[in-house]
Amino acid sequence: MSTTSLPVPDRSPRLREALLAAAFTADGLLDLLGAPAYAALARSETVPALRATRGDSPLDTLVRLFLLQHPVPYERARAALPLAECVEDGWVTHVGDEVRATADVRPYSGPEGQDWYIVSDLGCAVGGAGGIGSREEGVVLGIGGASTTLAGITVRTPVASALDIGTGSGIQALHASQHATRVTATDLNPRALDFTRLTLALSGAAPAELHQGSLYEPVGAETYDLIVSNPPFVISPGARLTYRDGGMGGDDLCRTLVQQTGDRLNEGGYAHFLANWQHVEGEEWQNRLSSWVPHGCDAWIVQREVQDVTQYAELWLRDSGDHRTDPAEYAARYDAWLDEFEARKTKGVGFGWITLRKSAAAVAGNPSVVIEEWPHAVEQPLGPAVEAHFARQDYLREQDDAALLAGHFTLAAEVVQEQVGLPGAEDPEHVVLRQNRGMRRATKVDAVGAGFAGVCDGTLPAGRILDAIAQLMNEDPVLLRDRTPQAIRLLVEEGFLDPVPPVG
């Protein structure tokens, strides 16, 4: 791994043309390597890809050079690249009969099939159970699962201004450049800003405004329509590695980032963060996170995973390669992590997504704050589902029970009904509605709820549907109207039913 001087982006268009001409793209890699070798790369296993690139085509050469970071013969590099320019600009070095890459250049497919390139330090592609194995403080990582998750949950409506905090190699700034008129990216590590500049230039994207500094400090009092951050959220005993360790005690960096966002968002603006948070003895984690939500913002916080402190320490010790050091040194570092957690009464660490939205209702003191645990599979990109979640919260805030019963609803797309019970039984034990889109939720409903959802096509108001169900089931229609609005609220909140906007 190298943290030497970086390439310059001045003639990136010429290099980009050569990469595209050789089909050094996400689709081109899959075609060349085949699915098993391509999947192995995500696990940091390179042997299958090396075997698949034993040919002498320009694509074979570029994969070995930039992706696998193996030296290639000079003549093969000259056939694949504008080599003199790449040497002069610092993308590669030429020693003897070999050419070596100075940076990791990784093809990445944009949301509309764009051919992009993520540029990072050599050996720092994220993937595999062993982590990147880096103990260098200023190293800059490439794209990984956290990066793609954050990109997928971000709302992508066109905006005037976007801010990427802790930009790293520039992945979120690159995505934002497609729908934001002005993109600003910040990082405490000046090397990361250089990599962001390279990523944008080599991907053919517009340049961003780049500022060095921590959290919101580099941008003063500026406000934005979109804020995204995959921050250094790891809860660790110290700040050894800039790319992952926040340098504040416990989960204070994530808390500070979230709490300071309220004053930085424009009306209607979104902020999306990945974060870790402590599970503290004697304290509900939901209450801890609720206290982070700034005034004036609605929030949707989803806990995706919880690890006990030993699992968490082992994960990040492996990430930095400490498990490969002297056993006594590894044990001492492990002890330091557990000492830190014990001192803070931390019994586990949660990981998840935090989305904030600035809204007039929240500013007026009526915020919508939803904090939940959802460890199950979801459909990415989730941005449209995130936007729909907040739209539903807006609707529900404005509807009392009478308004709900007067409202019209449709069953959301790709919701199916499952009946669960013993084989041969006349009636099911319970009925489950299941989504095949978005969050892919499932919820139990009674016979009334199942019947109600099944006939919601937007034509009749909810109250009249309930009256018809009451007649079919020999129930008191008044009592049914009294007890059902809460169930309707839940089905709307979780996205099983979509409100139909009033005509006119």
Strands 415-420 and 430-435: antiparallel
Q: Which of the two residues, 133 and 156, has the higher pLDDT score?
A: 156
pLDDT tier at 19 (50, 70, 90 boundaries)?
very high
pLDDT tier at 106 (50, 70, 90 boundaries)?
very high
- The DSSP line for 54-122 is -S-SHHHHHIIIIIS---EEHHHHHHHS-HHHHHHHTSEEEETTEEEESSEEEEEE-TTS-EEEEEE-T
The pLDDT assigned to 300 comes to: 98
- For range 102-122, the mean pLDDT: 96
pTM over 0.85: yes
CA gap 124, 147 in Å, rounded: 14
Quick check: 130 pLDDT over 70?
Answer: no
Residue type, 268: G
The pLDDT assigned to 4 comes to: 61
Nearest to 477 by CA among 454, 455, 448, 500: 448
104-108, 148-152, 229-233, 321-325: which has the minimum mean pLDDT? 321-325
Cβ contacts of 481 within 8 Å, gap of 6 or more: 405, 463, 466, 467
CA end-to-end span of the chain: 62
- For range 43-64, the mean pLDDT: 94
Strands 98-101 and 92-95: antiparallel
Q: How much of the chain is helix, strand and coil, in % rounded to 5?
A: 40, 25, 35
* CA–CA distances in Å: residue 306 to residues 243, 347, 441: 21, 10, 19
Which value, in Å, is the radius of gyration of the alpha carbons in the chain?
A: 26
User: Across the chain, what does the average pLDDT equal?
Assistant: 93
Phi and psi angles of residue 171, each rounded to the nearest 5 degrees, phi first: -65, -50
Quick check: 125 pLDDT over 80?
Answer: no
- For range 275-284, the mean pLDDT: 97
Chain centroid offset of residue 83 CA: 36
Quick check: 126 pLDDT over 50?
Answer: no
- The DSSP line for 162-173 is EEEES-TTTHHH
The pLDDT assigned to 502 comes to: 83
Which tens digits make up the pLDDT trace of 253-272?
999 999 999 999 999 999 99
The pLDDT assigned to 128 comes to: 35
Cβ atoms within 10 Å, residue 150: 20
Task: Report whether 252 contacts 246 (CB < 8 A).
Answer: yes
The pLDDT assigned to 135 comes to: 52
Residue with tokens 């268009």: 13
